[in-house]
Structure 1
């Protein structure tokens, strides 16, 4: 989906080796195999062996006397397919009803490992956090918003960064859910909030914890925001935030609160 293009680009700013690996392995659509374009046609026109002895794959005569044979063959194939899926009300070995069977995350994602699914899930809130931190940091610095006595930029940064990160994160999640469901509007906004609120919170816990650690413990409040060192420290904080966001994303996806994204 289109929204993943900026998601991968933004996350590459701080998570580039993992982002590159995830994109190359699971972020690109698979290359079509040779002759794959002809498969849908063959699927819609299955081969038949008519009474007249026509070869397999040739069109059968729908006006002749083979109609009953074709219909019975189609009915038989449909019955076989239904038998494989399981009858409604029956339970498979995983305890799911045959008619309402819901595959696990790896099955829904075509066998993609859970690690990759979680990484992509964290990248959604990661993209929002990165953009929110960039906008929020420069806004606080430009307005010299101080909180506390003596006045500190850090406390204002926490508030403003989180507000912008939350807004951007919900936007990324919204445009991930909407294409999958084919729906738009307030209902999808609520779903985006449920899917990304905890994820964003845990990401920012890791980032904000590191921001406090390097500002207070390492540089004793002397590191200015408009320096290369500051933003290198912010990159480390975002990397830490990614990993504090992994457990909650695993829980959200495992419990189907957050849908696996492409």
Structure 2
């Protein structure tokens, strides 16, 4: 009889064990002596740098370096009295100087963008073709450059892994947001979009639309900054119409009260 109950307990424990995911074997590497801090409310209002750190095939070891910008900035114009040769020399010096400063934190390559005259539909990006794995208890640095001081801030963040689980190449629009945090509101039994700020950044439109191609079994890896800790909240991450499993996150109540507006699912 004892052995029978032992087997039942063992089967129960096995059933309760979380199912292994594609993200479990991925190791995100960065200098272990990195000094990080919690991002302050509204601190990202004057900072540059994407939250995207990887696009491509499954890789067991991924270095934590971020794409700096979706669209690279245009070079500055030459000075009125500057020759073409002097202009080239000056631009090269500036690029070399920036490379030394940013190389430990940002990727040298640009995001591989494609363009279309037709707007990409985000409704097709859902849990039917994307799987989102959130490692809310893992800590990695999120690098952001202050536009004024040029200082690289290093924030406590956690990784979000997104995999194309379909057999088709997916178009990932770049005009809008990346990963988004949604907090559960008990009184309404609904989730709402939350940020570590009280302002909103709207997308821009133009004559063509840019996107990233994500092939079958390829992944995206993003980072999301930890908020100042406080009350435990039920949350999930969303990527367009796709959602992660629910998890718990600690957030200062003042941050949620000071949101620009509440946008519900």
After TM superposition, is the score higher than 0.5? no
Of Structure 1 and Structure 2, the greater helix share is in 1
Per chain length, whose mean CA-contact separation is higher, i.e. which structure has more relative contact order (CA < 8 Å, sep 6+)?
Answer: 2
Mark the structure with the bigger radius of gyration.
1
Normalised TM-score (structure 1): 0.22
Of Structure 1 and Structure 2, the greater strand share is in 2
